[in-house]
Amino acid sequence: GRPALRGTSAAERAALTELLQVCAWILFDAERHRISRQLSHRALALARTLPEGAPSVELLVLSVLSLQEEHLGRPAASLRISSSVLAGRDLPARVAAVFHVREARARARLGQGRRALRSLATARELLADGPSPRDPSWTWWFDRSELDGHHGLALADLGDPDTAAALLHEATAAGDAPAYRSLFSAELACLLARAGAWRETDARLSGLVESIPEIGSVRALGALARTARTIERGPRVPRGLRDTAGCLTAALRAQAGATHPAFRRIRRP
């Protein structure tokens, strides 16, 4: 509990802050949002007790909270977080790029196309400058593929599926990528299905069905479930794709056999 933190050193509080942040991220990716947010806010409170200038994951926690608000359909709340971080702070380049991307995703959901594209352009310029000695270690995951993926998702929200698909394809083409980027592959399949690009959807899904047991992201599994539903309801869907969608649904239902509440979103009605 919190009283046990009395008398702890700054190093111990920093370590606990990082642990809370990691747990909050895992729970976010598992669609366990209430407890994820609770842990994120505890991490923020702890981070703000650290000495000035000490290494901190405070901004990482805020970046996840901003992403989470957008994911939950609350882009205005997401934008408040990202804009507050960007306002008046001397941020390292890569950190600033992360928050410009968060800002862009929120603005895209709000229909603010020009401002979203401007934020994405700023993020790309900052990333092009390369690593900086000021970049904190937690920014290791933010690279061109990450930016391409979020750029693609923003364009999908803005009604440009062709460019969005091209960027998501680029984001998924990278080799040694974090496991959570399976989300970009799943979102690409969903985008292709919504566009009625049945051949491309089948090609994308065929490579994903067998990997479903290894996909640890419930967000990605949810995107695949949406893809399956889109195919089931779609007009003039080729028989081969319907068969692939059937295999996908069966694999998702096998994954959703657990009682863990994180799987509720991918159970078929």
Question: According to the model, what pLDDT value does residue 261 have?
Answer: 40
Residue 20: partners with Cβ closer than 8 Å, 6 or more residues away: 39, 40, 42, 43, 46
Question: According to the model, what pLDDT value does residue 129 have?
Answer: 87
Question: According to the model, what pLDDT value does residue 256 have?
Answer: 67
Q: Label each residue of the chain as H, E or C.
A: CHHHHCCCCHHHHHHHHHHHHHHHHHHHHCCCHHHHHHHHHHHHHHHCCCCCCCCCCHHHHHHHHHHHHHHCCCHHHHHHHHHHHHCCCCCCHHHHHHHHHHHHHHHHHCCCHHHHHHHHHHHHHHHHCCCCCCCCHHHHHCCHHHHHHHHHHHHHHCCCHHHHHHHHHHHHHCCCCCHHHHHHHHHHHHHHHHCCCHHHHHHHHHHHHCCHHHCCCHHHHHHHHHHHHHHHHCCCCCHHHHHHHHHHHHHHHHHCCCCCHHHHHHCCC
Share of the chain above pLDDT 70, in %: 91
Angle at the Cα of 29 (from 230 to 242), degrees rounded to 5? 20
- Residue pair 76/106 in contact (Cβ under 8 Å)? The answer is yes
Does 1.10.3720.10 match the CATH number of domain 10-48+55-130? no
The domain segmentation of the chain, as residue ranges, is: 10-48+55-130, 181-269
- Residue pair 108/151 in contact (Cβ under 8 Å)? The answer is no
Q: Using 50 as the pLDDT threshold, list the residues of the chain that sit under it.
A: 1-4, 258-263, 265-269
Question: According to the model, what pLDDT value does residue 255 have?
Answer: 77
Question: According to the model, what pLDDT value does residue 257 have?
Answer: 58
